[in-house]
Chain A
Amino acid sequence: MLPKIARGVHALSIILILMFLLAPVILVFPISFSADAYVAWPPSAWSARWYVALLHNEEMVTAFRNSLLIAACVTVITLVVAMPAAVALTRWSFRGQDALISLFTAPLLLPSIVLGLAILVIFAGYGLVSSWPGVVIAHLVITLPYALRVLMTGLGTMPSFVEDAAGTLGAAPWQVFRQITLPLMTPALVASAALAFIVSFDEVVISLFIAGTQLKLLPVSLYHYVESWTDPLVAAVSALLVLGTLGIVLIVERAIGLGKAVSK
């Protein structure tokens, strides 16, 4: 009798903890279909008015487009910079290699509020604040470590003897890279691209410092909107963002497994 009760209590607590973890993400969906002018539970009636309002909210639409464009630029540059570095750090062995890897992944250990402030102070002197290049470069500080780690893991689990064999058979280094290495590391590339995109798109602290008030970015605009308004508009944006993120999660999970990608 007792073990049965214990097992029931255990199962119930697991379900409650899981609900606690997922509650904020799930509850924005019903609230986003509220017909009320402010966030209240339960909504007095249901409607899609906040989705319509969202389409007509110029700031949110512009901010969404800017964030997409910035994230796309950041993703491309991240891959272009991280990919050769990942090849160098896994296919060569040289003195100081571990120190270099630590240096390149160190930004993940620092609070983003410190990174944001540090970059702001430097960029302010060069007129890079509130500019597109400024924001793109600043985002690289957090996307590069993630991408580098995923790519290095991908290359590390890939046997290098295939490349050596191609080299022995007379293929030039560039040929080996294009015909052997690149196809084999496609999953790691897809995963690091998806991660870089989502990290840049979601980044709010560094963007708050660098984007300033002129360059609108979605997380920053949402943050400022919540500061001054209490209507369910943000719930509509949140619901859409959760769905978009879910899509990217599936891509990363298919490519390499989510657990490997997001661990610090």
Chain B
Amino acid sequence: MPVLKKLIGAALVLGGVGAVAVWFLSAPARLDAETLAQLGPGDAARGKRIFYAGGCTSCHAKPRSQGEARLQLAGGLQLKTPFGIFVPPNISQDAKDGIGAWSEEDLANAMLKGVSPGGEHFYPAFPYASYARMKPSDIADLYAFLKTLPAVAGKAPGHTLGFPFNIRRGIGLWKLLYLSPQPVIALPEGTPDPVMAGRYLVEGPGHCGECHTPRDLAGGTKKAVWLAGATAAEGSGIVPNITSGEGGIGDWSEADIANYLETGFTPDFDSVGGAMVDVQRNMAQLMPEDRAAIAAYLKAAPSHPNGYPARKKPEN
């Protein structure tokens, strides 16, 4: 009996220590002064490129809006995932409902650390696990560009998430596992500049891996099968393998990839579909050398077979 009591006591103490540790480990961490010092004054013209590379409007524009209205970043889209429904918020310049009152540092903490001005974790449906690899100066430029966009009143509804995903603090532990500014694919010294530039665009602002890479049970991307394609996290169907492995795009030339991003047509003249339609429209806004860089990186990245299960043959 005394042994059992001791055991229970020890378990309680350990549990207590564990809880305290979890509390500290899960605390939202902001950027350090050194990183903030690199922000500098932004340039709106340069920021426009970052805005389209990052595809902000794909999730934050009013659902189903077209043309100029894509720049009204009122949020409200519903992303239906296995974790629940995520709703991208209003990031227009409205001071009350959007992010018009945010400072440059606030935007940097949101994008590089996933932390809100109020000190809470954002859910990683906001792809800061990719944005964390961005240069602070690019965030400053993006901030300057966002300032040129219209203010739109109206808050988007909140997320609808089940337990335990509704506990924001838990995201702190997720970040310990998955949040890092390090590149995913290590490239040897002497790697050509376009490949390096492409790595930055794909792994950072472009956040291609968020949809094109399979995720583990905790919702982190599996870096070992980077860009191998995945069962769609949102909606249904699959997101294609964009490596040169089996089932991927090994038979596309770099020019084919760049052309697809510019025009939306595959080499055999199928057209872009699904969520990639918005992405491609954003990519079409970049410079030709940006699309060429993305193509060069995709060709240089490791090949993997499809990261999603083969389709069951339909019964006839």
Judge: A and B partners, yes or no: no
Residues of A within 8 A of B (CB): none
